[in-house]
Amino acid sequence: MILLSIGHGYSAQALARRIAPARVIGTSRSAKKAGAFGGLVWPGQDLPIEEATHLLCSVAPDAAGDPVLRAFGERIAARNWDWIGYLSTVGVYGDTGGAWVDEDSPTDPGTQRGQERLAAEAEWRALGAHVFRLAGIYGPGRGPFEKVRSGQARRIVKPGQVFSRIHVEDIAQVLAASMARPDPGRVYNVCDDEPAPPQDVLAHAADLLGLPRPPEVAFDEAEMSPMARSFYAANRRVRNDRIKTELGVRLLYPDYRAGLALG
């Protein structure tokens, strides 16, 4: 196996650790970050597409489409890959008013970002990619502990609002399981078992740290960036049955309490 990981960030690096000692060629836009994992700078350098057996793309699309496929689409299409993976987002489902969605549910992204993701999914699936719709990612160095420790966290309360989440190590095991059981073009929701209100997660993190719970702020009164506020515009519960029944995944962290238990 030689995995070419385009956009070798937090989730992709967890996969690389899981499949070691398989060779992984990662890319970053930052020369400093690429140097840290011995990777390539892209955009900027050519990529060894003809050398790789597996391909993972974590690069977000833009208004003009998918930048990886713009640059390398013909070369990717010409290869006979053992496996292609594309990391997307559960945001493509849009707002369901808190109702459950699965991979067969209608997609109705309410944002430009979501529409771009959905279009990119279609392009990648046409090439035989497996699409992984990720929920909110957390794990070591990224998540509620860091927010609570900063002293700047607020528990924003919007009645009925829940978010689905996924621990980074569970993303890695889902991707590895898909590599072992390829089903080109298949879509998988990658989330844990318990969608939960964001204020509950921050409160639990504070309790584990022995710190005061962040103050509650009503959503309508909270000062938030347009990006942060847009996340609250969609309320949905995401099912993850397919990763269990088709890939045989047993989540390491089936809910946020398990995910935060080890710090």
Q: How much is the average pLDDT of 147-156?
A: 92
Q: E strands within 64-168?
A: 83-89, 100-101, 130-134, 136-138, 155-157, 165-167
Q: What is the per-residue DSSP string for 4-36? A: EEES--HHHHHHHHHHTTSEEEEEES-HHHHHH
What pLDDT is stored for residue 65 in this prediction?
94
Proportion of the chain above pLDDT 70, given as a percent? 100
- Each residue of 214-257: pLDDT tens digit? 999 999 999 989 888 888 999 999 999 999 999 999 999 999 99
> Average pLDDT over the chain, rounded to whole?
95
Task: In whole angstroms, give the CA distance from residue 122 to residue 107.
Answer: 12
- Three-state secondary structure call for residue 128: coil
- Each residue of 156-206: pLDDT tens digit? 999 999 999 999 999 999 999 999 999 999 999 999 999 999 999 999 999
Measured distance between the N- and C-terminal CA atoms of the chain, rounded to whole angstroms: 33
Cα 166 to Cα 18, 116, 192, 256: the distances in Å are 16, 22, 5, 8
Q: Identity (one letter) of the amino acid at 69?
A: L
Proportion of the chain above pLDDT 90, given as a percent? 92
CATH of region 2-138+164-193+236-252, choose from 3.90.25.10, 3.30.70.1350, 3.50.50.60, 3.40.50.720: 3.40.50.720
Q: Identity (one letter) of the amino acid at 174?
A: V
* The pLDDT of residue 40 is above 70: yes
Q: Identity (one letter) of the amino acid at 25?
A: I
Q: How much is the average pLDDT of 115-123?
A: 96
What pLDDT is stored for residue 114 in this prediction?
92
Task: In whole angstroms, give the CA distance from residue 74 to residue 82.
Answer: 17
What kind and span of H or E run contains 119? helix 112-126
* The pLDDT of residue 263 is above 70: no
Task: In whole angstroms, give the CA distance from residue 254 to residue 193.
Answer: 5
